[in-house]
Structure 1
């Protein structure tokens, strides 16, 4: 080789460890960054804090799972098989019910990422596929029967403030099935019509639904009578003139506002007094009211509006378990054989 010629040799390729080769290269926005933005979006919609926490806890758990198993952690890189593996892992680690909750929360998260509001940060379809939803064994819902409701009301027959209040609450729950947070945040400001949520003459209460929408709950005559009886007792309460809330407490730090937690404690206590085996909780009344309305002949559309549901699917969700019972009652009234005479 000539002295003035320099020979170039190919540089040896660097060897990479198996661990470094396993680290996925991000193709889209990091999921933890997307989570922060999504949290702001959820909070701007005025969702319940528990709802926001449920959504964000799922995504945090999912991000941690991806990192632990060296899977893509960005909006573009995550694929259906990654979501599927996570759901299987959660089903085995916890329960099918928990895995199903994660599935529903992830579906909302990826729906946001694929939308204009979320960027979109993902240019392909959501990796959360309908067919990957965990199978959950259906459990029969528990309702408040007529007999149980009578027993509960029997525990609040006296003329005390507490009994009047609790009887009014249990009657409203049975009559119209409002959510705990909705009924307990009703305002009572007769001197300020803008914030006054009680309309006895119109037989209705104004409550706030999930998302903050206002909804007027209709009340029956007996329910209005029970509420009016409580309001008279309320006028003698030490916080009656200063509290803007309808429901007042009798013990604890803040007697100026009985909260949803106070309602749950009250129902559990009344259930024990009444000798009811299953724990009485506010949510049992939601399906009970819908079932009793359908049973009395109300249309599904009417029930949907009374309960403040946005879709008719919720009517089926809450009342399907007792559909056979209602059908038997209808048959008893319209039996073809009986009509033969």
Structure 2
């Protein structure tokens, strides 16, 4: 007997498997325009006493990002920016400028969006992802050898005002690798010759006593005596320039380039002395914590950052001095 389906019964069809649908993005209301948030962020940075150059770097990245979003018709408010917008901007900047500039923008925008989240100007996660950080190729750091340092000092020999000034500047840079802003920011009352130290202002506004050696003290004393007879002796700045005003950042940079050319050394810059001083101190047996204190760093990681390129050289020298086999 065959089975038949009653006329009033609709046969059931097998259920179709459901497709996995992509979850819809949550609807986020438009936030505060980025230009307005930038103004507020600058006020916050100043209130936090951030260094002038740090604020300049942050704002440069923020303005470049805002300009890119506007040009490409992308959301330009605190809530609307997404990771794909940041990613496109970083790629564009890398192609337009360099990977170093793009990496700097990534770091700066990350700080900005974290601030927005803290200020409740953004209700979702930061669109600046760690995975999107441009990979910057590592370059070998340039250090100055003892022979090059001696040649620089020899180029400044002489009784004149500029000779004495440049010798004193070089001695300080060689002694403790002082940052350029620290050198140019020195005032007369920051000099303590008896205590063999100089008071400098670090990033963030903290003050620090940077030690100097006996030869640096002597060079400073010789400079101060000739400075007292200078027409600009009444200025509070320690370093006097040759153009009727105190020595500026660019003046020190030109000074080093000029003395480098006289010594036969190309492209001598102020930052070279920072790594060189740290390496020389470690090679002489200084403890990394002492090097960190001398150079005014807040983190031991900075010691490694500036000296890691010559770590193997220092290890070989240490082994040659302390070889276990040679003791037997």
TM category (shorter chain) comes to 0.7 to 0.9
1:204 Cα offset (Å): 0.4
Matched, 1:271 2:271: no
Q: Corresponding residue for 2:316?
A: 328
C-alpha distance in structure 1 between counterparts of 2:295 and 2:123, whole Å: 38
Once the two structures are superposed, what CA deviation does each residue of 1:152-187 show, in whole Å capped at 9, x if it has no partner? 000111111111111011010010011111111111
C-alpha distance in structure 2 between counterparts of 1:110 and 1:151, whole Å: 48
| Residues 183, 173 of structure 1: alpha-carbon distance in 2 compared, 3 angstrom cutoff | same
Alignment counterpart, residue 284 of structure 1, candidates 255, 260, 272: 272
1:299 Cα offset (Å): 1.5
Correspondence list, 1:129-168, <5 A: 129-168=129-168
Q: Contact (CA 8 Å) 2:178, 2:295: kept in 1 or not?
A: yes
Q: Corresponding residue for 1:248?
A: 240
Q: Corresponding residue for 1:318?
A: 306
Structure 1, unaligned stretches of length 5 or more?
1-23, 189-195
Q: Contact (CA 8 Å) 2:161, 2:226: kept in 1 or not?
A: yes
C-alpha distance in structure 2 between counterparts of 1:239 and 1:105, whole Å: 40
Correspondence list, 1:82-161, <5 A: 82-115=85-118, 119-161=119-161
Q: Contact (CA 8 Å) 2:232, 2:244: kept in 1 or not?
A: no
Q: Contact (CA 8 Å) 2:90, 2:106: kept in 1 or not?
A: yes
Once the two structures are superposed, what CA deviation does each residue of 1:288-316 show, in whole Å capped at 9, x if it has no partner? 11111111111221111111111112111
C-alpha distance in structure 1 between counterparts of 2:28 and 2:69, whole Å: 13
Matched, 1:199 2:192: yes
Larger-gyration structure (1/2): 2
1:121 Cα offset (Å): 1.0
1:286 Cα offset (Å): 0.9
C-alpha distance in structure 2 between counterparts of 1:93 and 1:245, whole Å: 41
C-alpha distance in structure 2 between counterparts of 1:110 and 1:223, whole Å: 45
Matched, 1:230 2:223: yes
Q: Contact (CA 8 Å) 1:26, 1:73: kept in 2 or not?
A: no
Q: Contact (CA 8 Å) 1:26, 1:74: kept in 2 or not?
A: no
Structure 2, unaligned stretches of length 5 or more?
1-26
Q: Corresponding residue for 1:42?
A: 45
1:49 Cα offset (Å): 3.3
1:71 Cα offset (Å): 2.2
Q: Contact (CA 8 Å) 1:264, 1:281: kept in 2 or not?
A: yes
C-alpha distance in structure 2 between counterparts of 1:149 and 1:292, whole Å: 12
C-alpha distance in structure 1 between counterparts of 2:211 and 2:63, whole Å: 41
C-alpha distance in structure 1 between counterparts of 2:285 and 2:106, whole Å: 36
Q: Contact (CA 8 Å) 2:81, 2:127: kept in 1 or not?
A: yes
Q: Corresponding residue for 1:68?
A: 71
C-alpha distance in structure 1 between counterparts of 2:141 and 2:168, whole Å: 25
1:51 Cα offset (Å): 2.6
C-alpha distance in structure 1 between counterparts of 2:42 and 2:309, whole Å: 35
1:25 Cα offset (Å): 8.2
CA RMSD in angstroms, aligned pairs only: 1.7
Q: Contact (CA 8 Å) 1:26, 1:72: kept in 2 or not?
A: no
C-alpha distance in structure 2 between counterparts of 1:62 and 1:262, whole Å: 33
Instruction: Give the TM-score taking structure 1 as reference length.
Output: 0.84
Q: Contact (CA 8 Å) 2:165, 2:223: kept in 1 or not?
A: yes
1:139 Cα offset (Å): 0.5
Shifted more, 147-156 versus 33-42: the winner is: 33-42
C-alpha distance in structure 1 between counterparts of 2:295 and 2:125, whole Å: 34
Shifted more, 103-112 versus 133-142: the winner is: 103-112
C-alpha distance in structure 1 between counterparts of 2:197 and 2:123, whole Å: 47
C-alpha distance in structure 2 between counterparts of 1:103 and 1:261, whole Å: 28
Q: Contact (CA 8 Å) 1:25, 1:72: kept in 2 or not?
A: no
